[in-house]
Amino acid sequence: MDESTLSFLDRLRPLGGWLSRRQRARERRARIDREDALKYIHKTEAKGRRPTLEGVAGALGLTLDEAARLLGNMQTAGLLVDSDGTPRLTAIGRDSALHIIRAHRLWERYLAEETGFAEEDWHGRAEAREHELTPAELDTLAARLGYPTHDPHGDPIPPPDGALEPHGGTPLAGLTADQAGRIVHLEDEPAILYAQLVAEGLSPGQIVRNVTRTPERVHFWTNGDEHVLAPIVAANIFVTPLPGDEAATAVVGRPLTDLPLGESACVVALAAGLRGQERRRLLDLGLLPGTVVTPELRSPGGDPTAYLIRGATIALRAEQARQIRVTGEEGRRGVRERGKAFTPAPQHPFTPAPSSPSGVTNDADN
């Protein structure tokens, strides 16, 4: 091969590399669109609604022509069938959709338990990561997390066999004023409405009471706090009603930060929304249901506060203490009656509680 031919091929090589990268990017984009369409159709069917071409286009940000081509390609690939103009998943399509849903919810659980990302960021990061995880990687991740059954929002995580049970909740506004309920799910889409729920400090596991509603507002109480939401926001909160006896005995408590210096109280629970490393920190300090806590000294700036906990004096910042629910002597007896009496721990010197991680233990994008 002469020198001029080699020179010509050298000039073509960068173009060939660029074309190859562009082709791979197109293929990846097409795969992501297919998987997002599968997820949309599955979720829509699970809600008892009819998937539509317009719905696919809106969910994926496509034109109607682009969505029609996408659904046609998916039908050719055996992922769905057309049923009188309605796209319906085949068995293969359903399995593929459940894989993506499992990946999304497991990754959200990972972000909640093992990273320092803000709650509002979990969904977006999981949306990006769900397309990169293989079934084997999901099995490994599930084992690492202790085989969780639900994501941080209360959505059930599909097991490897593909069975998926609904969360079973009903809209919050369906409770009457004399009913109590437990939050089982917070809808994380659209993001702007979910951000309002996060700002209110709501999370699955909390007990809601005294729900009243007007055309303009839904009013309720949880964890001793009053909440007033627009109906469109409250519609993203799902609850299960509590039986009368369970509702009557549920001890809500108040934040530890409300306790005056020198007054003792009993730990009822840690906030339902407290997860991962922060929850483990407080548990390691002995803050279990039944533990007696007494605020003894507050710093000149008002934060942190030194608490007597199981014979040791430990400093907690206000943001940590707010996550600890306590009650008085009557509630303390109730907790102990349920078999959760505290046991003393060895004394150790005044030690400030570890601070929140400033970084991330495992970057979700790695």
Say whether both 39 and 59 belong to one domain.
yes
DSSP string for 1-29: --HHHHHHHHHHHHHHHHHHHHHHHHHHH
The verdict on residue 129 lying in a domain is no
Q: Which two tokens stand for residue 43?
A: 């979720």
The verdict on residue 233 lying in a domain is yes
- Domain of residue 271 covers 254-352
Q: Which stretch of DSSP H or E encloses residue 195?
A: helix 191-199
User: How many CB atoms are located within 10 Å of the residue 312 CB?
Assistant: 17
Instruction: Provide the number of structural domains found in the chain.
Output: 3
The verdict on residue 321 lying in a domain is yes
The enclosing domain of 298 has a CATH number of 2.30.30.90
Q: Where do we find the tokens 């007494």?
A: 294
The verdict on residue 120 lying in a domain is no
Sign of torsion, CA 328 253 114 121? negative
The enclosing domain of 29 has a CATH number of 1.10.10.10
Strands (E), the chain: 80-83, 86-89, 170-171, 181-186, 207-213, 218-222, 225-229, 237-241, 254-255, 265-270, 292-298, 305-309, 312-316, 324-327, 351-352
The pLDDT of residue 120: 86
Say whether both 288 and 342 belong to one domain.
yes
C-alpha to C-alpha distance for 201 and 319, rounded to whole angstroms: 12
The pLDDT of residue 246: 59
The verdict on residue 163 lying in a domain is no
Say whether both 85 and 24 belong to one domain.
yes
Strands (E), 77-171: 80-83, 86-89, 170-171
The verdict on residue 269 lying in a domain is yes
The verdict on residue 113 lying in a domain is no
Q: Where do we find the tokens 């729900």?
A: 211
C-alpha closest to that of 257 among 177, 318, 174: 318
The verdict on residue 73 lying in a domain is yes
C-alpha to C-alpha distance for 233 and 188, rounded to whole angstroms: 11
Each residue's pLDDT expressed in tens, for the chain with a length of 366 residues = 555 655 655 555 555 566 777 788 888 889 999 999 999 999 999 888 999 999 999 999 999 999 999 999 999 999 999 988 899 999 999 999 999 999 999 999 999 888 878 888 899 999 999 999 999 999 999 999 989 888 988 889 999 886 777 777 889 988 888 888 989 999 988 889 999 998 888 888 888 988 899 999 999 988 778 899 999 999 999 999 988 655 555 556 778 888 889 898 888 777 766 777 777 888 888 888 788 999 998 888 888 899 998 888 989 988 888 888 888 754 444 444 443 333 333 333 333 343 333 333 344 444
Q: Which amino acid is at 183?
A: I
238: left (phi over 0), alpha (psi -120 to 50) or beta: beta
Domain's final residue, options 229, 246, 263: 246
Say whether both 235 and 261 belong to one domain.
no
C-alpha to C-alpha distance for 270 and 254, rounded to whole angstroms: 11
